[in-house]
Amino acid sequence: MSATDLWTLFSALSSTPAADSMQYPAVQIPARPGNYVARTAAGEAAFLLRGPNPPVVRPPLRLRHVEVDYGARCRVAEAGTAAVEGEFIAIRCTDSNAVALELFVRTVEALLATLPIQPTPSDTESLIAVLVELFRKLGRPSARSIKGLWAELFVIDKSGLVDSLVTAWHADAVEKYDFFTTKGYLEVKATEQPQHIHEFSLAQLRGPSSADSLVASLLLRRATGGVGVLDLARRVTQRLRDATLRAKTWANVFEVLGNDFQDAHDLSFDERYAEHTLGVVIATDVPCIELPLPQGVLDARVVSDLTIAVAERNLGISAISRIAS
């Protein structure tokens, strides 16, 4: 949205409560005059968006992590300028946890970038509906492992094909492949074991296009001060040219983290070790059971050791271009 992202601008806002409880330290959202991100007296983040005039009369939304007031009377004070008072649609993150605040600010920023400069009431309502659904996921069990999300973001980042891979990235935990294109698929696996041993569905190894498809295997090692999920998500979204893809990336982060979102701040891995151990092989090179399956067996899952395949037939990260370029 700008050279300086909104999380950086929000983080720089004063955390000292104003004498007037209606007045918030705020900064105008770049390229969106009259719209602000503000810090409440409790340290929460609030987006103050200009609504229709006259304002729509609608009851406020009160959820676990997010509240929306459709006719909030606020006074905002930008550094070095006179305070501005008005009626706003106030979208507030009620959780002062650092991870929740960053997810909130970065996700709303990405969603706003998908809207026209002068959004219609239905545009704004759609943004609120998406945001509410995303934050509902933070109250549910995690859909996938944080370790798996880390590996997927790592491969996206290292591939040099950020836009193409995010476009191909699954948006639902139940989808069969991590990345799918008309040229094939890419399945990403991660383990903290010392060997490349992973579990697969049969379709991931011997599907219709498996001869043209790839498996990326990473060995991970936890490291204090290493790279975390949010670090990788920031890095990826900063390189995406399409606002819709930035919003998709943060939506996928929400999908995975669920109510384990606070762990995203503590779990980090050694990036150099992951890069050094990364192996990319053709799906048909991964050991698998013989086909066809016995009569009456409709599907199967296998645990395969890719260590030899990675050592002998590693194509490297550049091979991903064969399905994603």
pTM value is 0.89
How far is 215 from 204, CA to CA, in rounded Å? 9
Secondary structure of the chain as H, E, C letters: CCCCCHHHHHHCCCCCCCCCCCEEEEEECCCCCCCEEEECCCCCEEEEECCCCCCCCCCCEECCCEEEEEEEEEEEECCCCCCEEEEEEEEEECCCCHHHHHHHHHHHHHHHCCCCCCCCHHHHHHHHHHHHHHHHHCCCCCCCCHHHHHHHHHHHHHHCCHHHHHHHECCCCCCCCCEEECCEEEEEEEECCCCCEEEEEHHHHHCCCHHHCEEEEEECCEEEEEEEHHHHHHHHHHHCCCHHHHHHHHHHHHHHHHHHHHHHHCCEECHHHHHHHCEEEEHHHCCCCCCCCCCCCCCCEEEEECHHHHHHHCCCHHHHHHHHC
Mean pLDDT lowest for which of 33-37, 244-248, 261-265, 270-274?
261-265
Mean per-residue pLDDT, 135-144? 76
Token pair belonging to 199:
């579990």
Determine contact, residues 314/245, Cβ cutoff 8 Å. Answer: no
pLDDT tens digits for range 68-79: 999 888 888 887
Sorted by sequence, the CB contacts under 8 Å of residue 96 that are 6+ apart come out as: 42, 43, 44
Mean pLDDT of 226-245: 94
The answer, yes or no, to whether residue 192 has pLDDT greater than 80, is: yes
CA–CA separation, 124 vs 203, rounded Å?
41
Report for 203-207, 301-305, 321-325: range of highest mean pLDDT: 301-305
Residue that the structure tokens 């709303």 belong to: 108
More confident residue, 58 or 165: 165
